[in-house]
Amino acid sequence: MLKSGTAFLLAALGMAAAGALRARAGGAAPLPSVATATGTPTWTPTHHVFPTLTPTPTPDPTLLRVTAVAPASGPAAGGTAVTISGANFVFGASVALGGAAAGDVVVVDAGQITATVPPLPAGFLADVQVTNPSLETAFLHNGWFADFLDVASSNLFHDDVVRIARGAITAGCGGGMYCPTEAVTRAQMAVLVLKTKYGWGNPPPPPCTGVFADVACPGAYADWIEFLYQQGITAGCGGGNYCPDAPIARGPFATILLKARHGWDVVPPPCQGVFSDVPCPGPFADWIEMLASEGITSGCGGGNYCPNEPVLRGPIATLLAKSFYITPAGMPGPALSRARD
C-alpha cells in the first residue's frame, strides 16, 4: 500500500496529465499564476502563461519627505516667501536653506510649510532642509537657487539662466554675476555647448594634443575646444586656428548648435529666405533657418537674425536650454540622447 504522501503526489501528477490532455483538445482552463510581490505590483503582460511581476518602489508613508519648494529661486538678499511641500511635517519643525535658518516658519499641515528665505550667496544652489522636533531630517537637494545679482526674475533670460546654472553648465562670470550682456567667446562657447550636450555627469573631455596653432595645450579651454573639433562640430576659424578669444557670431553658432544637437552629419534643408538680413542662398542661411524652424530662435527682432552680431551670455542660455531640452531642475530632457560615444 502506497504511503499517503506518495499517493498524493501521483494523484497530482495524474491531474496535471489529464489537464494537459484536455488542453490539447481545447477544453482546459488556463493554468493558475503564482507570484510574490514586493512593494506595489504592476503587471506586465507576456506571451507566457505566468505574468511577469514588476515591483514599483513605494515610499515609506511614515517618513519625513521634502518634495518641492515654490518658487524655486529668488534674490540672493533673501526675503522671498516660499511654500515647501512634502509629507509628515510636524508642528514645531524648522527649515534651513544651504545651512542657513529660514524665517517665519509655519507648519500649515503635514504636507505644507511656509517660510521666508534667508540671505545666501548669489548664484548659489542650496539644499532645502526640514527638521522635525524629533530631529528627523529630510532634504530637497539643490531645491533653491539664489539668483545672480545681475539676472533678476524680471530678466527675459532669467529662467533659462537658472536652468543652465542648476545643470552645472555655468557658474556665472564671477562675483555673484552672470554678465548676460557680455559676448561669448569661441573658447567659452566650446565648454557651454559640450556641457549642455553631455551633461555634468559625464567625464571631462580627453586631454588635448595640440590641434590648433592658436590654442595652447595644455590650457584652460584646450581640452574642450579639441573635443568639439573631434566631434565634427567645428573646424576652427581657418588657417589651422580656432580664434578662441574672438566672440562667436550668431551665424556660425547656428551651425555649431545644430551639429551638436543632431550630430556632425546633419544636413539642413535648403533655405527659403526667412530673415531679411540673411541672404538665401548663403553660407549660414540653411542652418539659421533650420534653427528657426525647430523653434530655437525667432531672430533678433524686426524680421532680422543679426548673423554677424556676437552671441550674448543671456540669449545663449535660452538657445542651449531649448536645443537640449534642459528641464527647470537643470536636467537633460528625454528628447535627445546625451550619451557620449
Domains and CATH numbers, the chain: 65-146 (2.60.40.10), 158-323 (no CATH)
SS3 label, residue 68: strand
Q: Confidence band (pLDDT; 50, 70, 90) for 58?
A: confident
Cα Rg for the chain, rounded, in angstroms? 29
Is the peptide bond prior to 41 cis by the omega test (within 30 degrees of 0)? no
- Residues forming beta bridges with residue 119, ordered by sequence position: none
Query: Under 8 Å CB-to-CB from 319, ≥6 apart: which residues?
Result: 253, 257, 296, 297, 311
pLDDT > 90 fraction of the chain, expressed in percent and rounded:
75
For 285-312, how does the pLDDT look when each residue is reduced to its tens digit (9 = 90+)?
999 999 999 999 999 999 999 999 999 9
Please state the pTM of the whole predicted model.
0.79
Candidates 143, 98, 141; CA nearest to 119 is 98
Tell me the C-alpha distance between 34 and 104, whole Å. Answer: 54
Q: How many CB atoms lie within 10 A of CB 209?
A: 10
Contact criterion met (CB below 8 Å) for 92 and 98:
no
pLDDT > 70 fraction of the chain, expressed in percent and rounded:
80
Confidence at residue 334, expressed as pLDDT on a 0 to 100 scale? 52
- Residues forming beta bridges with residue 70, ordered by sequence position: 83
Task: Give the pLDDT mean for 259-282.
Answer: 97
Q: What are phi and psi of 166, to 5 degrees?
A: -65, -30
For 14-36, how does the pLDDT look when each residue is reduced to its tens digit (9 = 90+)?
443 444 333 333 433 333 333 33
Contact criterion met (CB below 8 Å) for 314 and 181:
yes
For 216-257, how does the pLDDT look when each residue is reduced to its tens digit (9 = 90+)?
999 999 999 999 999 999 999 999 999 999 999 999 999 999
Is the peptide bond prior to 279 cis by the omega test (within 30 degrees of 0)? no
Q: How many CB atoms lie within 10 A of CB 119?
A: 13
Confidence at residue 6, expressed as pLDDT on a 0 to 100 scale? 40
Confidence at residue 328, expressed as pLDDT on a 0 to 100 scale? 85
Q: Confidence band (pLDDT; 50, 70, 90) for 199?
A: confident
Highest mean pLDDT among 4-13, 180-189, 190-199, 321-330: 180-189
Could you tell me the three cell numbers for 73?
Answer: 529661486
Among 1-10, 28-37, 124-133, 145-154, which stretch is predicted with the lowest mean pLDDT? 28-37
85-94 residues labelled b (16+ CB within 10 A) or e (exposed): ebbbbeeebb
Confidence at residue 148, expressed as pLDDT on a 0 to 100 scale? 98
